[in-house]
Amino acid sequence: MEESNMHKNLAVIAAVDVIASNADLLSEILLRLPARSLIRFSIVCKRWFNIITRRQFSLSHSRTLALSNGLSPSGIYFYNCLTKLQKIESLSLTDDNVISLPSLQFLDELTNIIIINGDHIVEVDEFRVTQSCNGLLMCLFTTTSDAVTTRKGFVYNPANKASRVLPPVYENCADEFVYYNLISDPSKPPYYKVLCVARIDNNWYSDIDASVYEPGSDSWRRCCTVSAPEMGFDSGVFWNGAIHWIGEYVSLYFDVNSEKFGTIIMPAKLQGQCTQKIRYFGEWGGHLHLIQVQSLSTKRFSVLELDKDTLEWSVKYRVHLDRLISAFPEMVRKTALHDTQYAFSILSVIRGENEENSVLLLTISGKVVAYNLVLKTVKVVRELPGKVANTLCFNHTCAYQYVESLNPIGDKEVKEYSLNQG
Amino acid sequence: MASTTETKQKKMLILKSADNDEFEIEESVGVQSETIKNLVEDGFTFVPLPNVYTKALIKIIDYLKKHANKTDSNDEEIKTFDKDFVNTTFDDLFELVSAANYLHISCLMNMLCQTIADRIKDKSPEAVRKIFHINCDYTPEEEAKIRKANAQAFEGQFDESLD
């Protein structure tokens, strides 16, 4: 008995030693953990820290997650279009004990990054998230240095705080005609790219020019120039291997592999005087959704989905807001012309694993609510600060998915959550 | 149990564990391990395994036998077997994973690594240290610094249990 116990202990000690000393074996186990667990386990010991923060490990981890369909969003960052507040909010969407998303209050860090990049005294004037793709955020910030204002593109991973300031591009174009879009495919190198689209003649009717940035490079590569309808090219939605943008009559896409533009016919335009008919355009779980409304007085609308094969839009869900409006009468607004309007902004269509879990996430006065698209039930998800503005304006994309990933972004070995910080 | 005549027809291998126990298995069962396969290809029929202890080896031979007889019809049975196989203590899992790694049995490695990962993912760093028999080599200041820099990853309640 004693002998067998001794053997058991020997065997356990031997096995623990093997795991501790064999980095490949330990990595095999760690690669299968979620990003959040890994960041937490970086304090287990220095050896674990060194493995987890290694660039190659981060890349393998993102790739493993991508190949096992593990890159589902665990939350969203969003702007509340209904208020004049420009503060970015966050919302966790998981059922477990994750309370919040990583904070984006990193203006101080930003200033550090700019100094590292060789500038002198730099003030960050404005900072905005414009898009997200598989765990990475596309951000824009404007800075003032020696009275010159510059806008820069910035790629950020909130999970491991990895970041990259993009080199300048289209410097002769006005900022309002330059659009940055992130394309991230963690399953294969180069893991992410940035597409910049610009109206080269600085007007809404001019041709658009596209350039691509890949990590490891210091400059942009020009792809093509095409004519394009009057529309914006920010907040592109990555779906089915292409970045999609929505316009009034057609939607445009940029195919990542062929690096060519294409068009998709829009669904029939809704009647009515409203200028902001497109209230939502976004992707969830491989589904591309579009919501159009007739007017600000609309209570009824459809959620459309684009078919992957035919590239045609069809109705996926029909929404009637009666129940929501009676539960939250503060949504009702009477205008001077005795018109009745309903104040809501659509954050996201969220497809559940089961159809009964598919919800429409909306902001209304002071709240985020989830409207179940199948069961037609309503749930308050959280309270929100700020008062609804007098004039309603909308953005068809105001929520940005948060996907936990260790994508290291930079092309150099950087210990992002380093011991030697500061 | 195979009959005597059958046993004679099949090529057999002898595996010897770190604690000097010997096990006779069919070659076709053994070669699911890349390590054993390479030795067999070099003409060995006696395979000493100085890194694999008897207890783990018995379980692994069970696993290899079960998986060698994989057919379309016993899929469910193998799933149940696998589920029971990994339903054990962390110490046993570590022994098995280190043996599977030495023997290069990739499907078993995948299953064991995934099981360990799933069972630790919600645990506290302190529990993980105990489970992996790791002594923390950070100073309290160093540890506090990493915690502060990644505050969000430390929010919430974590599982402190060691099983």
pLDDT of amino acid B73:
87
The Cβ of residue B137 has, within 10 Å, a number of other Cβ atoms equal to 12
DSSP per position, A25-67: HHHHHHTTS-HHHHHHHTTS-HHHHHHHT-HHHHHHHHHHHHH
How would residue A14 be classed by pLDDT, with cut points 50, 70 and 90? confident
Work out the minimum CA distance from A421 to partner chain B, whole angstroms: 9
The predicted structure's pLDDT at residue A282: 96
Chain B residues whose beta carbon lies within 8 Å of the beta carbon of residue A98: 155-156
Residue among B18, B149, B152 whose CB faces A101 most closely: B152
Q: Read off the tokens for A339.
A: 């018109």
Which of A109-113, A202-206, B7-11, B64-68 is predicted least confidently?
Answer: A109-113
From the number of C-beta atoms within 10 Å of its C-beta (0-12, 13-18, 19+), residue A117 rates as exposed
Residue B87 has pLDDT above 90, yes or no: yes
Q: What is the pLDDT of residue A102?
A: 84
Which among A11, A34, A419 is the nearest to B95, CB-wise? A11
Whether pLDDT at A6 is above 80: no
Task: Confirm whether the ipTM is greater than 0.85.
Answer: yes
Residues of B in contact with A52 (CB under 8 A): none
**pLDDT bucket at A138, cuts 50 / 70 / 90:** very high
DSSP string for residues in A183-219: EE-TTSTTSEEEEEEEETTSSTTS-EEEEEE-TT-SS
Contacts of B113 in chain A (CB under 8 A): 28-29, 31-32
- Position B91 scores a pLDDT of 93
Please tell me the predicted confidence (pLDDT) of residue A86. Answer: 76
- Mean pLDDT calculated for residue range A318-334: 92
- Please judge whether A39 and B53 are an interchain contact, meaning their C-beta atoms are less than 8 angstroms apart: no
Q: Does position A410 have pLDDT exceeding 50, yes or no? A: yes
Q: What is the arithmetic mean of pLDDT over A336-363?
A: 91
**What pLDDT, on a 0 to 100 scale, did the predictor assign at position A7?**
56
Given a cut of 80, whether residue B12 has pLDDT beyond it is: yes
Q: What is the pLDDT of residue A8?
A: 56
| pLDDT > 70? residue A417 | no
CB contact under 8 A, B122 and A96: yes
Identify the band that residue A272 occupies on the pLDDT scale cut at 50, 70 and 90: low
Q: What's the pLDDT at A376? A: 93
Q: Lowest mean pLDDT: which of A94-108, A178-192, A239-253, A330-344?
A: A94-108
Q: Which residues pair with A252 in a beta bridge?
A: A245, A263
Which H helix or E strand runs over B93?
helix B90-103
Which comes out higher in pLDDT, residue A336 or B153?
A: B153
pLDDT of residue A11: 81
Whether A44 and B136 lie within 8 Å, measured CB to CB: yes
**pLDDT at residue A28 is higher than 50:** yes
What pLDDT, on the 0 to 100 scale, is given for residue A213?
A: 96
The CB density around residue A296, as the number of other CB atoms within 10 Å, is: 18
**d(Cα A148, Cα A230) in Å, to the nearest integer?**
29
Average pLDDT on B4-27 reads 84
More confident call, A113 vs A327: A327
Please report residues of B whose CB lies closer than 8 A to that of A43: 125, 136, 138, 143, 146-147
Nearest to residue A88, comparing CAs of A100, A74, A98, A78?
A78
Q: Where are the beta strands (DSSP E) in A72-177?
A: 75-78, 89-92, 123-133, 136-145, 148-157, 162-165
| pLDDT band at residue A249 under the 50/70/90 scheme | confident
Best A43, A97, A109 member to test B by mutation, with max B CBs in 10 Å, is: A43
A416 confidence band (pLDDT: 50, 70, 90):
very low
Q: What does the alpha-carbon distance between residue B95 and residue B55 come to, in Å, rounded to a whole number? A: 9
Q: How confident is the model at residue A143 (pLDDT cuts 50, 70, 90)?
A: confident
Q: How confident is the model at residue B150, as a pLDDT?
A: 86
Q: Are A81 and A141 in contact (CB under 8 A)?
A: no
Using an 8 Å CB-CB cutoff, list chain B residues near A47. 137
Confidence of residue A121 (pLDDT cuts 50, 70, 90): low
CA gap A124, A151 in Å, rounded: 10
Q: How many whole angstroms separate alpha carbon B118 and alpha carbon A33?
A: 7
Whether the per-residue pLDDT at A418 is higher than 50: the answer is no
The predicted pLDDT at position A421 comes to 37
- What are the tens digits of pLDDT across the range A31-87? 999 998 999 999 999 999 999 999 999 999 999 888 887 788 989 999 998 887 778
Mean pLDDT score, B45-57: 94
Mean pLDDT score of chain A: 86
pLDDT at position A309 is 94
Task: Please tell me the predicted confidence (pLDDT) of residue B53.
Answer: 93
Poorest-confidence range of A131-140, A257-266, A304-313, A404-413? A404-413
Tell me the chain A residues in contact with residue B55 when contact means C-beta distances shorter than 8 Å: 7-8, 11
Asked whether the beta carbons of residue A7 and residue B54 sit closer than 8 angstroms, the reply is: yes
The C-alpha atoms of residue A366 and residue A380 are separated, in whole angstroms, by 10
Q: Minimal Cα–Cα distance from B125 to chain A, Å?
A: 5
**A110, pLDDT greater than 60:** no
Report the residue of chain B nearest A41, measured CA to CA: B125
First-to-last CA distance in chain B? 36
pLDDT for residue A129: 92
Compute the average pLDDT of residues A335-339.
78
The tens digit of pLDDT for each residue in A188-230 reads: 888 899 999 999 888 888 899 999 999 888 899 999 999 998 8
Confidence at residue A273, expressed as pLDDT on a 0 to 100 scale: 62
